[in-house]
């Protein structure tokens, strides 16, 4: 029987990978920054703290593991707390520990259009991790999602939250840049499938629907039965508005880099075959009573490690 290590099993993507593996009768352990976070899996799987400062210690936690599913990353730079360059170093330490422990295969979550030469630090960091993995000599698979949706997601839920709360919704620029959101459990299914395979390589993980950003916001608005006007404003003005919203909710609502990535089409790959069947529009319809009722905060997740991620399904 194989042993699987899932990073962040008490978080978002890791939760769905873990559930699928446990449902299939597999043995799972997790590496996490939040071993005490409430989760349905607490007590069912062994939880080891990440030891990015000590590769040998982290290798001991990974002893006997056949497949490592790596979801670890940080969304943005936060002075004094976390940043992308540290996340690259930490991930390198994780890969080194996996190699030292003799882990059979790594399935790593990246991002659409990951590229070491990107001007965006998030995308650049993901690009350099893909290279590290390629050069590691280990058996690997990389999956590249665009934006994820699911009960605990942040972006889609918070678009719905803003639509419910404010009389008007502003998109950055003309809103014509495209995005193909993928359902978190479809990503988990793909990752497990890639974990079983033996070929090395990179696959995009995009949902079946292709929206312009403006269409996506309009679809959510219409499904919620709202009539807010959707207007285009200059991206910089949009960023300032998001700063103000962030102050209101005590969070980072969206970063300047995320706006740049979104408007440059980084979350889109034209013509890529869909990785999952779940359509965002059907999913929003199914959850129209709950989606966006509560704000989902990134910083709250990072500062309170003893609290479960907010979920629109309770």
Given a contact cutoff of 8 angstroms between Cβ atoms, the answer to whether 286 and 156 are in contact is no
3-state secondary structure of 270: coil
By beta-carbon proximity to ligand NAP, the closer residue of 14 and 297 is: 14
Single out the residue of 17, 47, 67, 74 in contact with ligand NAP (rule: CB under 6 A).
Answer: 74
Is the Cα torsion angle 279, 198, 12, 77 positive or negative in sign? negative
User: Taking the complex as a whole, how short is the minimal distance between the CB of residue 227 and ligand NAP, in angstroms?
Assistant: 28
Shortest-Cβ-distance residue relative to ligand NAP: 8
Near ligand NAP in 86-145, by CB under 6 A: 109, 111, 145
Q: How far is the CB of 245 from ligand NAP (least distance, A)?
A: 18
Token digits for 169?
């919704």
Measured between alpha carbons, how far is 45 from 30 in angstroms, rounded to an integer?
Answer: 7
Asked if residues 215 and 176 have their Cβ atoms less than 8 Å apart, the reply is: no
Site map 250..289 versus ligand NAP, x via CB under 6 A: ----------------------------------------
Within 207-226, which residues bind ligand NAP (CB under 6 A)? none
| CA 147 – CA 158 distance, rounded (Å) | 13
Min separation Cβ 259 and ligand NAP, Å: 15
Give the integer Cα–Cα distance in Å for 33 and 301.
Answer: 11
Q: How far is the CB of 88 from ligand NAP (least distance, A)?
A: 12
**Residue nearer to ligand NAP on the CB measure, 37 or 105:** 37
Closer to ligand NAP by Cβ: residue 293 or 303:
303
**183 is an interface residue for ligand NAP by CB under 6 A:** no
Min separation Cβ 282 and ligand NAP, Å: 19
Among 3, 6, 12, 58, binds ligand NAP (CB under 6 A): 12
On the 0-12 / 13-18 / 19+ scale of CB atoms within 10 A, 265 is middle
Name the minimum Å distance from CB 225 to ligand NAP: 25
Cβ–Cβ contacts within 10 Å for residue 198, how many? 8
Q: Binding mask 31-70 vs ligand NAP (x if CB under 6 A, - otherwise)?
A: -xxx------------------------------------
**CB-count burial class (<10 Å; 0-12, 13-18, 19+) for 219:** middle
Size of the site for ligand NAP (CB under 6 A): 23
Beta carbon of residue 166, minimum distance to ligand NAP (angstroms, whole number): 22
Q: Are 3 and 66 in contact (CB under 8 A)?
A: yes
Strand order in the sheet with 46-49: 46-49, 27-32, 3-7, 67-70, 105-109, 139-145, 201-205
Backbone angles phi, psi at 164, to 5 degrees: -70, -30
CB of 257 within 8 A of CB of 75? no
34 vs 118 by CB, closer to ligand NAP: 34
Q: Which of 3, 4, 11, 113 lies at the binding interface for ligand NAP (CB under 6 A)?
A: 11
**Which residues of the chain form contacts with ligand NAP (CB under 6 A)?**
7-8, 10-14, 32-34, 71-74, 82, 109, 111, 145, 147-148, 155, 302, 305
């Amino acid at each position: 029987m194989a042993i699987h290590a899932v990073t962040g099993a008490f978080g978002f993507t890791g939760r769905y990978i873990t559930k699928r593996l446990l449902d299939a009768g597999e043995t799972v352990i997790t590496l996490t920054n939040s071993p005490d976070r409430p989760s349905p899996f607490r007590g069912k799987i062994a939880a080891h703290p990440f030891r990015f400062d000590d590769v040998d210690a982290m290798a001991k936690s990974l002893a006997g593991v056949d497949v490592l599913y790596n979801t670890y990353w940080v969304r943005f730079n936060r002075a004094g707390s976390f940043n992308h360059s540290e996340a690259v170093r930490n991930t390198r330490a994780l890969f080194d520990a996996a190699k030292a422990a003799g882990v059979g295969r790594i399935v790593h979550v990246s991002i659409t259009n990951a590229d070491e030469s990107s001007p965006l630090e998030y995308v650049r960091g993901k690009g350099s991790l893909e290279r590290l993995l390629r050069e590691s000599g280990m058996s690997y698979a990389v999956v590249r999602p665009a934006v994820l949706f699911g009960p605990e997601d942040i972006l889609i839920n918070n678009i719905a939250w803003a639509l419910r709360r404010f009389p008007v919704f502003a998109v950055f620029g003309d809103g014509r840049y495209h995005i193909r959101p993928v359902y978190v459990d479809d990503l988990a299914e793909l990752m497990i499938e890639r974990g079983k395979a033996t070929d090395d390589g990179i696959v995009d993980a995009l949902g079946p629907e292709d929206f312009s950003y403006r269409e996506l916001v309009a679809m959510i608005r219409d499904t919620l039965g709202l009539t807010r006007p959707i207007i285009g404003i200059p991206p910089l003005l949009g960023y300032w508005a998001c700063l103000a919203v962030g102050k209101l909710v005590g969070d980072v609502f969206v970063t300047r880099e995320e706006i740049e990535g979104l408007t440059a089409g980084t979350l889109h790959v034209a013509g890529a075959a869909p990785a999952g069947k779940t359509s965002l529009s059907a999913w929003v319809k199914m959850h129209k009573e709950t989606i966006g009722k509560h704000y989902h905060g990134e910083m709250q997740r990072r500062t309170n490690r003893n609290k479960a991620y907010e979920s629109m399904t309770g």
